[in-house]
Structure 1
């Protein structure tokens, strides 16, 4: 990474200039950001990857959040201190976008994208240590929240991700460590899955950004 020009990202032999540097401030260009996201997406996910025009509004909001444009985020009701809960139908591109967005800001601390089912599998083997581990100071994006099974460790059942979210909430209140997530569920379904207490904490943890319920499945 070029620390003197954090707005320029090199992929192989190609440089992508996402904006211009004026003093110590980066002035990002959304169209240039889209070019980079599509190019990086092809590198990560294959040549068939593309940015769809119908998703531009969602991506614009996510980009503003990612580059920490506080003024425009405030105008759109996005709190840059909170994490992102990106919701939408199966296959609309939620996971791909969350993996891509962090690539635009290599000068910021990255988050790890972790499938929720993997966390539950870890709990089944190791028990409550796993919940404690995900309450640490790292940044995470929990992928496919709400469709993971409940955990079972030595016969004791546990709503693992519900407990993890409560731990992340405590961490957020203490040190503002962000948590992100993707989900196929709506607000009511999340409350049914995790209960009112966790859903209440999620409102404080996350900005909700949602794809239209009729968004196409890009995997087809």
Structure 2
């Protein structure tokens, strides 16, 4: 599907212009992006959803990534060709934002947000086939990475997400297939959970964007 004006998004009777078209280039407006995310978030998650002022810095980085503003991303140390690892404390809004942000760029290839624990439960049910299932060209966002249980199939234990991340790394290196993830863990905790080999691959696979560790739980 081609989008002649991908910066204009219609939700019901409302029309959101996230920027202006200058020739063949879209000049996005961050305040308009925030207004759209706030409105769409309320539609998706309920009227209590809101964009918090203290999250603006994180949202700015994420927005630049999704609109692929290469120059500004490079200034912030973000590689638009890599995936995102969005970290932060429980309840800070990571999952909601990853479900939302892809909608502001409908002309880009979307990704599927899937909880890591669901993948492990799938492994426990059908075995190693589940690992191969995620070695495809689909873009994924693995939600709550690092807190999923260990997989067990017919008595054989497996660090399921660790194996999947290794497969996704090969896809990224060979075919530039991006992978995203959210996590509550810091770098040391991720390394303890997956080991140094996977953690090393994650550095190449992801841009790390993090909420402040004192970010409040928005679900309370």
With the shorter chain as reference, the TM-score category is over 0.9
Cα distance in 1 for partners of 2:180, 2:162 equals 14
Cα distance in 2 for partners of 1:3, 1:214 equals 40
Contact 2:143–2:182, Cα closer than 8 Å, also in 1 = yes
Structure 2 counterparts to residues 13-52 of structure 1, below 5 A: 13-52=13-52
- Matching residue of 2:206: 206
- Matching residue of 1:219: 219
Cα distance in 1 for partners of 2:27, 2:202 equals 32
Aligned length: 220
Cα distance in 1 for partners of 2:75, 2:108 equals 23
Contact 1:2–1:8, Cα closer than 8 Å, also in 2 = no
Structure 1 runs of 4+ off > 6 angstroms?
A: none
Root-mean-square deviation (CA), in Å?
0.9
The normalised TM-score by structure 1 is 0.99
Note the C-alpha offset of 1:23: 1.3
- Matching residue of 2:166: 166
The 1:210/1:14 distance shift into structure 2, 3 A limit, reads same
Cα distance in 1 for partners of 2:5, 2:204 equals 34
**Secondary structure in structure 2 of the residue aligned to 1:3:** coil
**Secondary structure in structure 2 of the residue aligned to 1:6:** coil
Cα distance in 2 for partners of 1:23, 1:151 equals 52
The normalised TM-score by structure 2 is 0.99
Q: Provide structure 1 residue ranges, at least 5 long, that are not aligned to the other structure.
A: none
Contact 2:8–2:15, Cα closer than 8 Å, also in 1 = yes
- Matching residue of 2:131: 131
- Matching residue of 2:66: 66
Q: What are the superposed Cα offsets for residues 81-114 of structure 1, whole Å, 9 maximum, x if unpaired?
A: 1000000000000000000000000010000000
Cα distance in 1 for partners of 2:174, 2:4 equals 33
The 1:130/1:76 distance shift into structure 2, 3 A limit, reads same
- Matching residue of 2:119: 119
